Amino acid sequence: SGKNMGIFKGVGYPEDIAAFYGLEEYEGYLWTGHGRFPTNTVGWWGGAHPFGLLDWSLVHNGEISSYGINRRYLENFGYQCTLFTDSESVAYLFDLLVRKHGLTFEMAAQVLASPFWADIDRMPERQREIASALRIVYGGALANGPFSVVVGYSRGMVGLTDRIKLRPLVAARDGDMLYIASEESAIREVCPHPEKVWAPKAGQPVIGELKEKEVEEKAA
């Protein structure tokens, strides 16, 4: 568990994990979930998703080929990656960029899934200056490889893919509800007829935030 949240994970089939923890007895205004089949790391409960840190909850699909560089970069700021999975580094990077350094989610997305230099060169001047500065200052935080991530926190949810979109990500809206998943079928399993469904562009974050009043009411 983390701050104002609970994380339930283990090794087994999703329905068995849900039954073991009695998830049907819980209520919440934000949920993240992931069924993971590890391909490059050992399968154990510590490597299962979601990853929790303070009030961050992260699920990840794909492979971070820059894990070694990202891990060494994070160690400069006191983070230690000990769970034998690249997903852990992404959770720490979000914490570093957003909580510690105060970047917006849009800026954090530009760091993690930075545009190519050729694309940066074609941007308007002010936008080009910002993108160049982020790429230079946070070069060690660039996440390479095919990935899509969904990050939940006490005030909302963010979805992001790599800068080429080698892993799928779909978003949907229905009323004041936001859904983000790897596949549209997963969303329709929960919400059969959403008002809007779209596939975000590569490296473009999907950001859903709660209003301040709503957060206070949920916490009360």
Residue 95 belongs to domain spanning? 14-219
- C-alpha span between 109 and 119 (Å, rounded): 15
Residue 199 maps to a domain: yes
Tally the domains of the chain.
1
pLDDT for residue 1: 47
Per-residue confidence (pLDDT) for residue 169, from 0 to 100: 95
Average pLDDT, the chain: 88
> Would residue 158 count as lying in a domain?
yes
The reply to whether 5 falls in a domain is no
Residue 59 resides in a domain: yes
Does the pLDDT at position 6 exceed 80? Answer: yes
- The CATH number given to whatever domain includes residue 210 is 3.60.20.10
Q: Is residue 70 part of a domain?
A: yes
Phi, psi of 185 (to 5 degrees): -60, -35
175 pLDDT band (50/70/90 cuts)?
A: very high
Identify each DSSP E strand in the chain by its residue range. Answer: 51-53, 56-62, 147-153, 156-161, 170-174, 177-181, 196-198, 206-209
Distance, CA of 139 to CA of 101 (rounded, Å): 15
Q: What pLDDT was estimated at residue 12?
A: 82
65 has a pLDDT exceeding 80: yes
Looking at residue 220, its pLDDT comes to 47
pLDDT tens digits along 187-199: 999 999 999 999 9
pLDDT at 29: 87
- The beta-carbon contacts of 35-40 under 8 Å, at least 24 apart in sequence, are 38/85, 39/63, 40/86
User: How does strand 206-209 pair with strand 56-62?
Assistant: unpaired
As a whole number of angstroms, the distance between CA 114 and CA 120 comes to 9
Question: Residue 77 domain-assigned?
Answer: yes
User: Residue 42 — pLDDT band, cuts 50, 70, 90?
Assistant: low
Q: Is residue 86 part of a domain?
A: yes
Q: DSSP character for 9?
A: -
Statement: residue 45 has pLDDT above 90? no
User: What proportion of the chain, given as a percentage, has pLDDT over 90?
Assistant: 61
b/e code 24-53 from CB counts within 10 Å (16+ = b): eeeeeebebbbebeeeebeeeeebbbbbbb
Is residue 2 a part of any domain in this protein? Answer: no
CA distance 65 to 70: 9
| The 177-181 sheet, strands edge to edge | 177-181, 170-174, 196-198
Supply φ then ψ for residue 215, to 5 degrees.
-65, -45
Instruction: Supply the pTM of this predicted model.
Output: 0.86
Tokens of 57: 């909850």
The tens digit of pLDDT for each residue in 78-96 reads: 999 888 778 889 999 999 9
Is the pLDDT at 37 greater than 90? The verdict is no
